[in-house]
């Protein structure tokens, strides 16, 4: 394409745009809309000033409003009520307090018995696995510690406490 062809095309497009602007200037599409709006405004009666309420029957107006219950319905449904909070979980028993006076010695017989010292037995008693002391069961032991367990019914949970051997 040569420069001459480009120039002719540009002149043609410019001419079309100019003709379109002139047409819109003479035949404005908004003039019909303006005329229609002016006719509609002429049909509206003039209102009394804002302070003058003569000619209005408020009782009749209120009856009309009351007969339209859909006016008072919510546009958006109210949020659902919050779910009730679950009852507070009872506190777990303090196994440290339950076994505070218990000492576990280093002495043991095989893998099933160890020596446990209590206030009732200061010289110690030989106890085996499964023995209940102050409501706690001896579950297992190693050379370093003895592990007691307690089944907490209210919390449906098994609690464990390790007591070092001395």
The residue ranges of every structural domain in the chain are 1-43, 95-164
What's the confidence (pLDDT) of residue 83? 93
Which H or E run includes 37? helix 30-43
When comparing pLDDT for 105 and 22, which is higher? 105
What's the confidence (pLDDT) of residue 65? 80
- What is the average pLDDT score of the chain? 86
Please say if the pLDDT value at position 147 is more than 90.
Answer: yes
Please say if the pLDDT value at position 42 is more than 90.
Answer: no
What's the confidence (pLDDT) of residue 6? 83
The Cβ-side half-sphere exposure at 94, using a 13 Å CA radius, reads: 3
Q: Give the integer Cα–Cα distance in Å for 117 and 105.
A: 7
Banded model confidence at residue 69, pLDDT cuts 50, 70, 90: confident
Q: What predicted TM-score, i.e. pTM, was given to this entire model?
A: 0.48
> What does the pLDDT average to over 58-84?
81
Please say if the pLDDT value at position 67 is more than 60.
Answer: yes
139, 140, 144, 146: which is closest to 124 by C-alpha?
A: 146
Please say if the pLDDT value at position 50 is more than 60.
Answer: no
- The most distant pair of C-alpha atoms in the chain lies apart, rounded to whole Å, by 121
Please say if the pLDDT value at position 165 is more than 90.
Answer: yes
């Amino acid at each position: 394409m040569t420069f001459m062809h480009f120039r002719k095309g540009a002149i043609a497009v410019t001419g079309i745009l100019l003709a379109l602007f002139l047409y819109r200037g003479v035949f404005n599409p908004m003039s019909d809309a303006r005329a229609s709006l002016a006719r509609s405004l002429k049909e509206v009666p003039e209102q009394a000033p804002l302070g003058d309420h003569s000619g209005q029957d408020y009782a009749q107006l209120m009856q009309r409003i009351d007969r339209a219950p859909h006016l008072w319905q919510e546009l958006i449904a109210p949020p659902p009520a919050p779910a009730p909070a679950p009852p507070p979980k009872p506190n777990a028993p303090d196994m440290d307090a339950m076994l505070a006076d218990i000492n576990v010695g280093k002495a043991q017989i095989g893998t099933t018995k160890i020596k446990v010292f209590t206030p009732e037995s200061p010289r110690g008693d030989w106890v085996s696995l499964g023995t209940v002391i102050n409501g706690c069961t001896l579950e297992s032991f190693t050379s370093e510690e003895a592990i007691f367990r307690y089944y907490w019914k209210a919390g449906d949970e098994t609690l464990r406490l390790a007591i070092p051997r001395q």
